[in-house]
Homo-oligomer: A and B are copies of this chain.
Amino acid sequence: MSRASDQAYANIRSLILSGDAPPGTQLTEAQLADICGVSRTPVRDALRRLEAELYIVRSDSQRMFVADWSREEVGEMFTLRGMLESHAAARAAARIDAQSLENLVECNKLLTAAVEAAVPDVATFLAENRRFHEQIIAAAQSPRLATILASIVEQPVVRRTAARYTRAELARSAHDHAELIEAFAAHDSDWAEAVMAGHIRRAFHAFSAAK
Can you name the residue of chain B whose Cβ is closest to the Cβ of A57? B143
Q: Given contacts A45-B48, A152-B144, are A87 and B77 in contact (CB under 8 A)?
A: no
Q: Kindly identify which residue among B2, B45, B48, B80 contacts A145, using a CB–CB cutoff of 8 Å.
A: B80
- List the B side residues contacting A145 at CB < 8 Å: 76, 80
- List the B side residues contacting A54 at CB < 8 Å: 143-144, 147
- Bound: A145/B48 CA distance, A: 18
Q: Does A100 contact B (CB under 8 A)?
A: no
Q: Kindly identify which residue among B76, B84, B147, B152 contacts A52, using a CB–CB cutoff of 8 Å.
A: B147
Q: Is the CB of B151 within 8 A of A76?
A: no
Can you name the residue of chain B whose Cβ is closest to the Cβ of A148? B148
A137-179 with Cβ < 8 A to chain B: 142-145, 147-148, 151-152
Q: Is the CB of B52 within 8 A of A142?
A: no
Q: Kindly identify which residue among B79, B84, B152 contacts A80, using a CB–CB cutoff of 8 Å.
A: B84
Q: Given contacts A83-B83, A83-B84, A84-B83, are A144 and B77 in contact (CB under 8 A)?
A: yes
Q: Kindly identify which residue among B48, B73, B87, B151 contacts A79, using a CB–CB cutoff of 8 Å.
A: B87
A42-57 with Cβ < 8 A to chain B: 44-45, 48, 52, 54
Can you name the residue of chain B whose Cβ is closest to the Cβ of A86? B83
- Bound: A2/B58 CA distance, A: 13
- Bound: A3/B84 CA distance, A: 35
Can you name the residue of chain B whose Cβ is closest to the Cβ of A140? B76
17 pairs, A vs B, C-beta closer than 8 Å: A2-B62, A45-B48, A48-B48, A54-B143, A54-B147, A73-B142, A77-B144, A80-B84, A80-B145, A80-B148, A83-B83, A83-B84, A83-B87, A147-B151, A148-B148, A148-B151, A148-B152
A interface residues, Cβ below 8 angstroms from B: 2, 44-45, 48, 52, 54, 62, 73, 76-77, 79-80, 83-84, 87, 142-145, 147-148, 151-152
